[in-house]
């Protein structure tokens, strides 16, 4: 395999023709696309660095994308000590911006006196966790991003609206489903299920008030029926409620939402955890 890639990269014209041939016979999926990587001279130089130089450069580059550390705090259930960093915003393949929250976790090691008795505990860094965050500039989300999508720190407010999602695809598709659901609720072509806020009209007005993404905490997929064109997403809100939306898509890999494609909208109340 290594020999194949060395030969292919030495002949870029043939590699591009091979990629085009693969695209011609590939299944027609909106979300699937083939990227041909061109290894520039700087990349090839980095790949050949000796271990110590590589380590020094990589550590410097890692620190260069991290923002300042947050205040130290402890998790509710595990009581672990943590602090977190947020990377600089960067562009995704969609008209979405992304940043990553990197959390440094600490364990505790015992400190003993001369008799071997534990007298205190000392925090010790033990692990790193990463969580992607996304920002929607405008709806619907498009692929590829339009010219108005700018994600560097000079153009995007670091205190802007960010929500959690497992990846950019989930964030983009879920945001578009949410956008279409609000359009249908506004036009009257879709009626939500009853919720704790009252009847259908009260629920409709409340969901329509959520058009500001600053109220969204996370977007996640949920199980749909056996139809491969059905899509289900849960919009988790800062207030604790969850909005579950089921829609029919043009295909399993589709990003664009057809008009009146949302089949149902349901609001679930907050789930509270009682600590004893």
Tens digit of each residue's pLDDT (9 = 90 or more) over 203-235: 888 888 887 788 899 999 998 766 667 889 999
- Residues 124-149: what's their mean pLDDT? 88
The better pLDDT of the pair 15, 82 is held by 82
Query: According to the model, what pLDDT value does residue 90 have?
Result: 92
Q: 40-44, 229-233, 254-258: which has the highest mean pLDDT?
A: 229-233
Query: According to the model, what pLDDT value does residue 251 have?
Result: 66
Whether the per-residue pLDDT at 10 is higher than 80: the answer is no
Whether 246 and 263 have beta carbons less than 8 Å apart is answered as: yes
What is the percentage of the chain residues whose pLDDT exceeds 70? 78
Domain that holds residue 154: 73-163
For residues 119 and 155, state if they share a domain.
Answer: yes
For residues 51 and 133, state if they share a domain.
Answer: no
Whether the per-residue pLDDT at 23 is higher than 50: the answer is no
For residues 151 and 103, state if they share a domain.
Answer: yes
Q: Which of 20, 47, 64 is the last residue of a domain?
A: 64
For residues 117 and 88, state if they share a domain.
Answer: yes
For residues 80 and 97, what is the distance between their CA atoms, to the nearest angstrom? 30
- Residues 92-119: what's their mean pLDDT? 92
Q: Which of 64, 83, 112 is the last residue of a domain?
A: 64
Residue 29 lies in a domain: yes
Residue 3 C-beta-side C-alpha neighbours within 13 Å: 0
232, 249, 247, 221: which is closest to 164 by C-alpha?
221
Q: Which of 64, 83, 117 is the last residue of a domain?
A: 64
Residue 232 lies in a domain: no
Residue 116 lies in a domain: yes
For residues 116 and 95, state if they share a domain.
Answer: yes
Residue 46 lies in a domain: yes
For residues 56 and 84, state if they share a domain.
Answer: no
For residues 52 and 92, state if they share a domain.
Answer: no
Residue 244 lies in a domain: no
User: Number of structural domains, the chain?
Assistant: 2
For residues 134 and 81, state if they share a domain.
Answer: yes
For residues 127 and 103, state if they share a domain.
Answer: yes
Whether 63 and 87 have beta carbons less than 8 Å apart is answered as: no
- Residues 135-164: what's their mean pLDDT? 79
For residues 51 and 88, state if they share a domain.
Answer: no
Residue 110 lies in a domain: yes
66-75, 80-89, 216-225: segment of lowest average pLDDT:
216-225
List the beta strands (DSSP E) in the chain.
73-74, 81-86, 90-91, 96-112, 118-136, 163-164, 216-221, 230-237, 242-248, 262-268
Whether 73 and 58 have beta carbons less than 8 Å apart is answered as: no
For residues 77 and 55, state if they share a domain.
Answer: no
Residue 51 lies in a domain: yes
Residue 128 lies in a domain: yes
pLDDT band at 124; cut points 50, 70, 90: very high
Kindly report the pTM of this predicted structure: 0.78
């Amino acid at each position: 395999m290594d020999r194949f890639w060395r030969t292919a990269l030495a002949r870029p014209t043939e590699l591009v023709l091979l990629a085009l041939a693969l695209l011609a016979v590939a299944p027609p999926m909106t979300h699937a696309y083939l990227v041909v990587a061109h290894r520039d001279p700087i990349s090839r130089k980095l790949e050949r660095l000796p271990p110590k130089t590589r380590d020094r450069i990589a550590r410097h580059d890692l620190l260069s994308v991290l923002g300042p550390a947050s205040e130290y705090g402890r998790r509710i259930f595990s009581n672990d000590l943590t602090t977190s960093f947020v990377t600089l915003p960067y562009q995704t393949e969609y008209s979405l911006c992304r940043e990553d929250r990197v959390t440094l976790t600490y364990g505790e090691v015992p400190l003993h006196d001369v008799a071997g008795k534990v007298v205190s505990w000392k925090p010790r860094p033990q692990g790193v966790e990463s969580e992607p965050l996304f920002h929607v500039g405008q709806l619907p989300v498009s692929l590829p991003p339009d010219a108005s999508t700018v994600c560097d720190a000079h153009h995007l407010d670091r205190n802007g609206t960010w929500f959690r999602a497992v990846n950019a695809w989930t964030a983009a598709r879920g945001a578009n489903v949410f956008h279409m659901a609000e359009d249908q609720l506004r036009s009257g072509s879709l009626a939500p299920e009853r919720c704790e806020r009252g009847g259908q009209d009260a629920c409709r007005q409340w969901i329509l008030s959520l058009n500001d993404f600053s109220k969204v905490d996370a977007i996640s997929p949920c199980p749909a029926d056996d139809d491969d064109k059905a899509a289900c997403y849960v919009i988790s809100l800062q207030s604790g409620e969850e909005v579950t939306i089921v829609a029919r898509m043009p295909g399993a890999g589709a990003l664009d939402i057809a008009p009146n494609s949302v089949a149902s909208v349901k609001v679930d109340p907050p789930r509270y955890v009682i600590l004893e």
